[in-house]
């Protein structure tokens, strides 16, 4: 039997076990996908290296990583794939002969989600909320899709400044602007993307004042539990074009499944599994 799992906080409702185990079962392979929830287990963030060592010692083929460890995990890895090096964050780890190799499938997952769900949407100027590990992947995806200027806001100025510097080095200084923590002005904005944990079932609320959302905006949220976040509910009520987190999670999960198991994933089948979980 193959073993994999997910390391993060407040992940007991994650659909990842269902997605991975169902896809393996459809291919005639037994796979056990374990949720390692630091909140549920009352673990401090500092326990991450020892948890990763335990997972490796238990014979896992690999594991996924989510909030808040997508950047912290890098220090515990032996190597990074180009996908993780470009983004500066890891959400998938393959274990091969005792070596831990980090990948990022969030970027390609979100990128494909935008292609599928926001075709033709204006991308001259986009406001992104959140500059953490997921935010780094989302920002890279947006700029790779041709966003004219990406404004990034985060409560941690050091974190957002670091992300902006990395993105400017790759895409150009004029492509990225840093917003002050509470600067959520949307007058010149085409689209709004939530890449923060605000909106999760465990962290409800709006990441931006509802009054800042106008019918002309498109609004995307990477949160997928719940699928209909308060942000998307407000946006739909106002007539905005919206994109929920399902496309990102399905596409990133399919790529992660391939990296961890070495088997090709059927994305249509995984999409069907997601909506029947």
Residue numbers in the known binding site are 14-16, 66, 82, 91, 106, 130-134, 222, 224, 245, 252
Instruction: Residue 122: count other Cβ atoms within 10 Å of its Cβ.
Output: 16
CA distance 138 to 207: 16
Strands 191-194 and 2-8: unpaired
Place of tokens 């949307």: 186
Catalytic hit among 13, 70, 175, 238 = 70
Tokens matching residue 60: 């896992």
Q: Are 61 and 31 in contact (CB under 8 A)?
A: no
Instruction: Residue 202: count other Cβ atoms within 10 Å of its Cβ.
Output: 12
Place of tokens 């890449």: 195
CA distance 26 to 29: 7
Which residues, 6 or more positions from 207, have their beta carbon under 8 angstroms from its beta carbon?
A: 129, 130, 194, 196, 198, 199, 231
On the CB side of 274, CA atoms within 13 Å amount to 21
CA distance 130 to 181: 10
Question: What residues form the annotated binding site for shikimate?
Answer: 14-16, 66, 91, 106, 224, 252
For 178, the 3-state DSSP assignment is strand
| Known active-site residue 70 | yes
Catalytic positions are 70
């Amino acid at each position: 039997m193959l073993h994999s799992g997910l390391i993060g906080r407040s992940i007991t409702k994650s659909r990842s076990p269902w997605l991975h185990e169902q896809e393996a079962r459809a291919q005639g392979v037994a796979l056990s996908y374990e949720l390692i929830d630091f909140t549920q287990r009352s673990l401090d963030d500092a326990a991450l290296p020892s948890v990763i060592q335990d997972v490796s010692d238990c014979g896992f083929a690999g594991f996924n990583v989510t909030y808040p460890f997508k950047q912290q995990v890098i220090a515990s890895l032996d190597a990074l794939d180009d996908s993780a090096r470009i983004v500066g964050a890891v959400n998938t780890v393959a274990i091969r002969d005792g070596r831990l190799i980090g990948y990022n499938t969030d970027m390609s997952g979100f990128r494909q989600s935008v292609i599928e769900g926001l075709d033709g949407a204006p991308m001259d100027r986009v406001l992104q909320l959140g500059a953490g590990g997921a935010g780094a992947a989302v920002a890279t995806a947006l700029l790779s899709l041709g966003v004219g200027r990406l404004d990034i806001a985060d409560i941690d100025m050091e974190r957002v400044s670091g992300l902006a510097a990395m993105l400017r080095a790759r895409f150009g200084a004029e492509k990225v602007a840093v917003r002050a923590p509470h600067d959520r002005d949307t007058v010149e904005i085409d689209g709004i993307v939530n890449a923060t944990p605000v909106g999760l079932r465990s962290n409800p609320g709006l990441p931006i004042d509802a009054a800042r959302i106008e019918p002309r905006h498109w609004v995307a949220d990477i949160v997928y539990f719940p699928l209909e976040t308060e942000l998307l509910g407000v946006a739909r009520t106002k007539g905005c074009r919206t994109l929920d987190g399902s496309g990102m999670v399905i596409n990133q999960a399919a790529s992660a499944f391939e990296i961890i198991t070495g088997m090709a994933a059927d994305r249509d089948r995984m999409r069907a599994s997601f909506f029947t979980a």
